[in-house]
């Protein structure tokens, strides 16, 4: 069965992350779905490397990534403008997204039900949309 995966970030009016359609048959886990969705997102965004990097970072950057960049002096969503970013590696991006999910950077919802573990089966019905919802801390807390 093919499902549509949409990435959402609270407070952003436009969806920069493209909605993608991926296979989610019997036996598909959350980890499998994340890998397939990210690979398709990378494929669709790869023509513009700089924009691809920004969009992927906005959706999948973890708090640990932010702390590490802050310790180095600056948090950036893209590499310096004078350098062309390296082509995105779908496998590496999928691994980063799975790690981000495991650290609570985003949640996965299927049919209005939140899924919690990478090994949890995805039981989507035809026509249901899967949402990757970026979790953003509230100001002041």
* Residue 37 confidence (pLDDT): 95
Q: Is the pLDDT of residue 131 over 90?
A: yes
CA distance 42 to 31: 16
* Residue 82 confidence (pLDDT): 47
- Can you give the residue ranges of every domain in the chain? 2-134
| Least confident segment among 11-20, 36-45, 78-87, 112-121 | 78-87
Average pLDDT of the segment spanning 105-120: 94
pLDDT mean across residues, the chain: 83
The model carries a pTM of 0.79
125, burial (CB in 10 Å: exposed 0-12, middle 13-18, buried 19+): exposed
* Residue 13 confidence (pLDDT): 58
66-103 pLDDT, tens per residue?
Answer: 677 677 776 655 444 545 667 788 999 999 999 999 99
Cα-based torsion angle of the residue sequence 126, 128, 134, 138 in order, rounded to the nearest 10 degrees: -160
CA distance 106 to 132: 6
The pair of three-digit structure tokens given for residue 43, joined into one six-digit string: 């494929």
């Amino acid at each position: 069965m093919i499902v549509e995966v949409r990435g959402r970030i609270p407070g952003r009016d436009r969806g920069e992350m493209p909605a993608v359609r991926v296979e989610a048959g019997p036996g598909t886990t959350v980890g499998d779905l994340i890998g397939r969705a990210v690979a398709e997102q990378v494929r669709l965004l790869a023509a513009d490397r700089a924009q691809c990097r920004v969009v992927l970072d906005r959706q999948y950057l973890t708090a640990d990534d932010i702390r590490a960049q802050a310790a180095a002096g600056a948090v950036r969503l893209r590499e310096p403008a004078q350098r062309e970013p390296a082509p995105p590696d779908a496998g590496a991006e999928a691994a980063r997204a799975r790690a981000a999910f495991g650290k609570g950077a985003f949640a996965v919802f299927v049919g209005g039900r939140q899924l919690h573990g990478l090994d949890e089966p995805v039981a989507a019905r035809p026509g249901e949309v899967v949402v990757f919802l970026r979790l953003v801390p509230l100001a002041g807390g």
